[in-house]
Amino acid sequence: METTASAVEPVDLYYQRTKEDLEQADLLPPSFTVRSNNSAPLVTSFLRNWYEGKHLWFSNKIFAPEGSKQRALEARKLIDLTGDTRYERRTVCIDDLSVDVLFMTKPSIVNKRWTVISLGIRVLYEEVVAKDSEEGPSAGPLQKAMVAVNSNFALYNYPGMGANDKNPLSREATIKAHNALLEFLYAEKKPRQVVDYGQSFGGFVISEGRERRPSREGVRTITVLDRTDLQACNILWNDGVITWALNKSLGWNMSVDLSKEDAPVIGIMNIETNSPVRIYPGDRFTYTDKAVSQATSIANILLNTTKDPVVIGIPGGHNDICPDFSVLGECIEEVFARL
């Protein structure tokens, strides 16, 4: 039987240990190391160093949040540790990259279902969790989402962001980070079901890494693409032509190819509605996402091109946390039942 930190130590010791971990500005010592078989091709030492340097400088300047290490630290200090959710900060290493990971568990969730959350670019997991804590212990949307989808959560920052700020933020690094977290999850948490959840840019990370996505026999996986575009450059065009051009030149034009997905996909998009609703082919709705066009929205493409699509419409803006995950929870149960 899987145990959590709260199950093996008194609450006061859990609180003290976790508080110390969250208030550590740097990465914690590595908990798990993965060796990848997918190194970048060696050209010449000079060219490779130049290429990686270009990624590190330009990509971190464009995509990493300003002062992200300090922002991440200040946000971690605001995470409320008094509720029934238990937090566990860990470090996963892959090749020369380090990944800052946060596990969130509830004692009531014992089904060995884990949701791996890949966030949008420039989004720090610490700020998402800290904002959730503003509503009190176990009262925020993220806390309620854990109950609604009946799953423990694993969040992480992409290399180059937060405590990972010394790593290069590159297309390849984001994919490696995601897959390394999955390897760690399989090794330590022994999940039976995995929900691979990507919001906006996170959807590209999941989709582009699918050919190398770790798997385990007997573990069922589904993918959730939440407000994800067909191509990353479509979203970045809204940031201006300079960002769009740099995105293209730095090899950041990531994309989603639904024909190659090896797991069932649930799509989510912004529509005019007061609460989340299931959308079926032929339903009428008003599309409202300002960052992703309706024509290239993965959720809308699923709705119009696949058999028995599972698509959800939610209120709010492109980066807003959904206020109610009950419909997603129902859809996840439905899709797992099909497998």
The pLDDT tens digits of the residues spanning 217-270 come to 999 999 999 999 998 766 655 554 444 455 555 567 788 988 888 899 999 999
Residues 155 and 18 in one domain: yes
Determine the Cα–Cα distance for residues 221 and 162; give it in Å rounded to an integer.
28
Whole-number pLDDT of residue 250? 59
Average pLDDT over residues 164-184: 88
Residues 158 and 14 in one domain: yes
Determine the Cα–Cα distance for residues 259 and 141; give it in Å rounded to an integer.
32
The mean of the pLDDT values for the chain is: 86
Which amino acid, residue 82? T
Residues 319 and 250 in one domain: yes
Residues shown for the chain: 339
Supply 172's token pair. 């390849």
Q: In terms of residue numbers, what domain contains 93?
A: 1-191
Whole-number pLDDT of residue 182? 96
CA 290 to chain centre: 21
Name the band, by pLDDT with cuts 50, 70 and 90, for residue 325.
very high
Whole-number pLDDT of residue 60? 59
Q: Between β-strands 265-270 and 113-118, what pairing exists: parallel, antiparallel or unpaired?
A: unpaired
Residues 175 and 260 in one domain: no
DSSP per-residue string spanning 69-115: HHHHHHHHTT---SSS-EEEEEEEEETTEEEEEEEEE-TT--S-EEE
Please report the sign of the dihedral spanned by the C-alpha atoms of residue 258, residue 262, residue 265, residue 269: negative
Residues 129 and 249 in one domain: no
> For residue 164, with 0-12 CB atoms within 10 Å meaning exposed, 13-18 middle and 19 or more buried, which class applies?
buried
Locate all alpha helices (DSSP H) within the chain, ordered by sequence: 5-8, 11-22, 45-54, 60-63, 68-76, 125-133, 141-148, 171-188, 201-208, 232-236, 241-249, 298-305, 326-338
Determine the Cα–Cα distance for residues 331 and 312; give it in Å rounded to an integer.
9
Residues 171 and 229 in one domain: no
Residues 28 and 94 in one domain: yes
Residues 132 and 255 in one domain: no
Residues 105 and 23 in one domain: yes
Split into its structural domains, the chain has a count of: 2
Residues 200 and 338 in one domain: yes
Top pLDDT among 153 and 6 is at 153
Residues 198 and 169 in one domain: no
Whole-number pLDDT of residue 292? 92
Whole-number pLDDT of residue 65? 67
Residues 170 and 294 in one domain: no
User: Assign residue 138 a region: left if phi > 0, alpha if psi is -120 to 50, beta otherwise?
Assistant: left
Whether residue 97 has pLDDT greater than 60:
yes
Top pLDDT among 121 and 217 is at 217
